[in-house]
Structure 1
């Protein structure tokens, strides 16, 4: 009797790849993974200061609400495509099936590198943020003298702690898929329970709170651009940085049972749950900002940390902050896991230097351990830049959301542009007649918000507050295209599957397994 495991392996073979990884992720561990890669309890406190300082509390609240709704459009568009082709390559592999054969190589090259570098920058930034959070906790537990804490972390200390965290994440991601399944199964329950508990604790323990009118209607021009409307748009930075990496779950497809169905369901469930939790946390933080100036200019360096400290004191604030750090660490592990699977998929298509080495699967763990440590090495290199220039390393981190989202909409757009030339066969999850308008919203929004996110966050613009993300984006574009024209175009043909199709007799397999 055929099983779901058999169907998964036959579908993968029909797509053109051998089953090398073990399928151990279940429905619940897949959903937990999808929620943990967004990690709102860690990401919202880490980015809360940006929208509040740019446009006030109402900006933070409504940007999160609007951004979450639009994120569902992007996530649904991604889920529809990867449902048809559930591989470790995610959207990168889908490119092969939405673009005419003569254009596959260049499209896949650009999408793949954009996605891979965006994910690597994301892993680096999350690890850096965890280090900042740990050191902020150490700072707020030191002596407070003359309006400042006695301990203030240096750039070198932050980077060194980040490198240690990257190694720990690398060790975890090198475990067997079964071990990862057992660990990740707990990520979402802890995330959801801690988020609700912290919101309740903050509202109960904070002695004085702001009014609902202030929280939901107060919009300011904190950016200096002489426009409340533009300052409001800058508030989308928090939700854009948090609600991305939608295809992270799809990179685990070759380790998931019934991936064509469970992957898309997990993606949509994660955006829905994370959107609600993120909005709840943002509203709660705004209600607890009675001393607005004191919190924004907190000596801890993080407004959210000061909110926790004001509500629970050193002991209570530290306990709540511990869960924020823990969830952000979970997010780092999940992001690294997705990045390593993308690196593995990219390498087996010979798109990386020394691809034959990075695409190897460890015979003990049956996981791509070499790809894991490639990501650790690249993330380490990126974070080392922070020792000499915090502005540069922040610029690299800021490229995460635009790079990932642009890699998604490029594939979504290609599907629509070439739909008369290339027939796309839907998978189990399909948007049906709603597909075109939802795709249009996703594409329009990412194009618009990417431009906004490349603007300097404050004015007047100086070397210190300049948003160097646009420079990093230009460098990535020049790097990828130069490498393509210099040599890659001569041997890279896109996702390499043709040589594997002969493994499965086509007479024994229907056009679609599901």
Structure 2
């Protein structure tokens, strides 16, 4: 993937006599126009949505059709709370009985409250379709951001794809239940497969062709969802005999064969856990919800409450009206819930109710299918999957990810063929949905909990905040996610058979292994995580006052028209105020840098653009030490050895480390905006500076050129961006007495090394092997640090001539690297008998016995006569003496 694929939308502003006109430029060249109010009418985004997407480095591609009520309906229908629980509470009835079903539902509800509170807060901070894997990437420790978000993205994709396949099959289950309730019907497996294929193709066509209608039928079907629920409960409470309160709340049972009742109850809690997962469908639809940062948390919590109410009443009804559990379990349909409904009404009314449930299942699966496609689209957009470019493509006419729909439908159909061969294998795959979602919840909430403990000031602003209770709620959420994750791998019955074994553990591990294989094979070079696009945390300054005021007005006041005159006044004020501030951007007036340096240190793209528009000096050196810096900035400055011991004195003395003021020393560290942007890894900022004319070779005092800094930090996208300008002066890439390739070898960046190799020209041979004593070659650095993979890569280069190393002790000390050099084609041509003897003598002088042994063995193969003459008699006599000594000692 080219560096351009990692560049977020950049926002430019043009001051005219009227209001400020803003244009968002996407990475693929498309544009969306932001009005003078800050919103995006084309995609129906509010000003808050525009700000949130820009902070996350994203271009709005989907249209925000959904409002609060329609999205609440969407969540309720996609999870089909009471309809699905008619068919899935059987395990709880076997393992724990009726009390197990009710109590496990209640404690699972209590456990999921902190989970959804935590995710609601994260959705308010970062309302994006990627949800959990994006949150992991943004909040995890920097060292683990990439791998943790990558694994979370794979498990999230697996969870939603498996849930989609199961949802398609649930429609077939209801159809077969209707048939079985009327006639004697022993359904072969191929019937279920055919039903699944037909319905999957129908759902694909309906979602693509009817994409614009998706938000508009949600409320009507949700009303049917509630009315059908009332129609389902009422006849049961009127017509079916009831069990006693003791039977429902105190008569525990163990029909699963487990050694103890407690173990049976804990195994039987899985229906209660499964009933509550999936509310985060709202988070995956965040890019299609208006004012998402405010609306999504509300939707998740309201949807969770509605679902719990419906599920509780459903299971309470069943538990009070299953008088004979064995008879209910032996119902021809296989579902005790259908047995209860059959007792409450005549056959025609039963058929009507099941038909209504079928309709609700169909509409619910259409909604769920949409959320599945958004999750797949988001992860592919970040290059986390094979064929990501195709999967992430958005149809420009319908403005939906059509290819993600097609893949999801194909995946569901392929799983249905597994059902033909083995019913156990099919349910082993689809059972991963709950397991994988719990893992995603645990990782994402665990990461924000870590950031809340160590770097609370870096958390983005949230319109739904947990406040001082955040850490406690996050901790409770992680604990319960881990609890559910553990029990999700247990089988339903004991003793365990092949048919009854819970294969989710095997499939889950296999999926992680598959993900890591793809990651090692090439995924790590393509996937960098969404965090590389996210703007860093910042704190409002005086320069932000006008725009902060406008943002506050847009967020807090519903009717913008009422304050339109105030907004225009503030914008006109900013035209006078900001340029005067930027005039300080000169070394004489402001020795610590002006507005552009301030903007770069704070990762503020919009402020940097305005500074450039008003004439900021792009290549002027500035001292970043008085900027608003993070702990990483301070450690970087300490590594530059510009502070010495005074840095540590300052850390000790100054509790407010966010604002840096040196105590004992005059700061000598000078950098440029481009160097600072490169070090911080802000690709968007660097691209903005380069497009404005920043010098890619500008080398300020006491620091290296931008490319050298990018190599040092191991930032491949930044290296690609700088090299693709075509203006790199390779002679200025000095650092550690080596050039670009040597720096890549020194900092152990094999990906950067491979990327830079094609750019080495004939006049730059000292990059590969020594020409002068002043420059250390990349091969020398790689050998010195024992990086054999890089040695092999460099030796494979057609211009490589490593004969200089044949007699160098540096190479001989690293035997594996020396063997590679010795066997290099260009070296083989140079090696004669004299060179062989010389190399052995040098190795012997430095007491490198392993190298001597290797050279002797090689001489015996190449020059047997010479070896016979020089070493055979000595080696033979040495062996005989050794044997004689052994015999004497014996």
Which residue in 2 is equivalent to 1:390?
423
Matched, 1:456 2:519: no
Report the equivalent of 2:105: 64
Q: How does 1:292-311 map to 2 (within 5 A)?
A: 292-311=325-344
CA spacing shift, 1:228–1:157, aligned 2, 3 Å: same
Deviation at residue 307 of structure 1 after TM alignment: 1.5
Provide the secondary structure at the position in 1 that maps to 2:257: coil
CA deviation map 1:115-158 (0-9, x unaligned): 1100110111111122112111111111xxxxxxx212111101
1:393 Cα deviation from its structure 2 partner: 1.0
Candidates 215, 221, 224, aligned match of 2:248: 215
- Kindly provide the CA deviation profile for residues 220-243 of structure 1, in whole angstroms up to 9, marking residues without a partner as x: 111111211111112221122221
Structure 1 residue aligned with 2:195: 161
1:372 to 405, 409, 416: 405
Q: CA deviation at 1:497?
A: 5.8
Offset from partner CA, 1:185-228 (integer Å, 9 cap, x none):
2343222222232111211122x221122112221111111211
- The answer to whether the 8 A contact 1:85-1:94 is kept is yes
Q: In structure 2, do the counterparts of structure 1 residues 428 and 2 end up closer, same or farther at CA, with 3 Å as the change threshold?
A: same
Counterpart of 2:516? 481
Q: Distance in 2 between matches of 1:62 and 1:197?
A: 26
2-structure distance, mates of 1:333, 1:114: 22
In structure 1, the residue matched to 2:793 is none
> Aligned with 1:16: secondary structure?
coil
1:24 counterpart SS class: coil
Alignment CA distance shift 1:96-1:474 (3 Å): closer
- What's the CA shift for 1:44? 0.7
- Once the two structures are superposed, residues 457-480 of structure 1 have per-residue CA deviations (whole angstroms, 9 ceiling, x without a partner) of 101111111111111111112111
> Which residue is 1:152 aligned to?
186
The answer to whether residue 47 in structure 2 is matched with residue 13 in structure 1 is no
Listed as ranges, the gaps of 5+ residues in structure 1 are: 143-149
TM-score (norm 1): 0.93
TM-score (norm 2): 0.54
More helix by share: 1
Cα distance in 2 for partners of 1:281, 1:499 equals 44
Secondary structure of the 1:186 match is helix
Looking at structure 1, the residues matched to 488 and 441 of structure 2 have their Cα atoms a distance apart, in angstroms, of 17
Pairwise CA distance, 1:259: 0.6
Report the equivalent of 1:99.
Answer: 140
Counterpart of 2:506 in structure 1 is 471
Q: How many Å separate the matches in 2 of 1:462 and 1:214?
A: 31
Match of 2:736 in 1: none
Higher mean Cα deviation, 463-472 or 313-322?
313-322
Structure 2: gaps spanning 5 or more residues: 1-36, 40-44, 537-542, 556-890
Aligned to 2:270: 237
Q: Residues 102 and 305 (structure 1 numbering): CA distance in 2 closer, same or farther, change over 3 Å?
A: same
Distance 1:93 1:496 in 2: 7
Which is further off, 239-248 or 398-407? 239-248
In structure 1, the residue matched to 2:229 is 195
Kindly report which structure 2 residues correspond to 1:278-297, keeping only aligned pairs within 5 A, or say none.
278-297=311-330
Q: By how many angstroms is 1:255 displaced?
A: 0.8
User: Equivalent residue for 2:377?
Assistant: 344
Residue-pair matches, total = 502
Return the alpha-carbon distance in structure 2 between the equivalents of residues 499 and 69 of structure 1.
Answer: 34
Indicate the larger mover: 451-460 or 170-179.
Answer: 170-179
Helix, strand or coil for the counterpart of 2:123? helix
Residues 280-312 of structure 1, C-alpha deviations (whole Å, 9 max, x = no match): 000101122123211111111222112111211
Within the candidate set 195, 216, 230, 1:182 is matched to 216
Aligned-pair CA distance for 1:96: 2.5
Q: 1:139 aligns with which of 180, 183, 188?
A: 180
Q: Is the 8 A contact 1:25 1:178 kept in 2?
A: no
Matches within 5 A, 1:395-406: 395-406=428-439
What is the deviation of 1:246?
Answer: 2.7
**Equivalents in 2 of 1:177, 1:243: separation in Å?**
27
1:122·1:400 contact (CA, 8 Å) conserved in 2?
Answer: yes
Would the aligned equivalents of 2:449 and 2:475 in 1 still touch at CA under 8 Å? no
Give deviations 1:382-433, integer Å, cap 9, x for gaps. Answer: 2221111111111112111110121111011112224424721241011112
Q: Is the 8 A contact 2:98 2:247 kept in 1?
A: yes
Paired residue secondary structure (1:65): helix
Decide whether the 8 Å contact of 2:92 with 2:271 is kept in 1.
yes
* Match for residue 329 of structure 1 among 328, 339, 362: 362
CA contact (8 A) 1:199 1:284 kept: yes
Using the alignment, how far apart are the partners of 1:270 and 1:366 within structure 2? 26
Q: Does 1:356 align with 2:397?
A: no
Which is further off, 424-433 or 262-271? 424-433
Distance 1:353 1:289, change over 3 A: same
Instruction: Give RMSD over aligned pairs.
Output: 2.1
Give the match for residue 147 of structure 1.
none
Identify the match of residue 51 of structure 1 among 92, 99, 108. 92
Question: Structure 2: how far apart are the matches of 1:385 and 1:312?
Answer: 37
The answer to whether residue 475 in structure 2 is matched with residue 434 in structure 1 is: no
| Rounded Cα–Cα distance in structure 1 between residues aligned with 2:362 and 2:52 | 34
Work out which structure has the larger RCO, using CA pairs closer than 8 Å and 6 or more positions apart in sequence: 1
CA distance in 2, matches of 1:380, 1:458: 29
- Between the aligned partners of 1:54 and 1:482, the Cα distance in structure 2 is 38
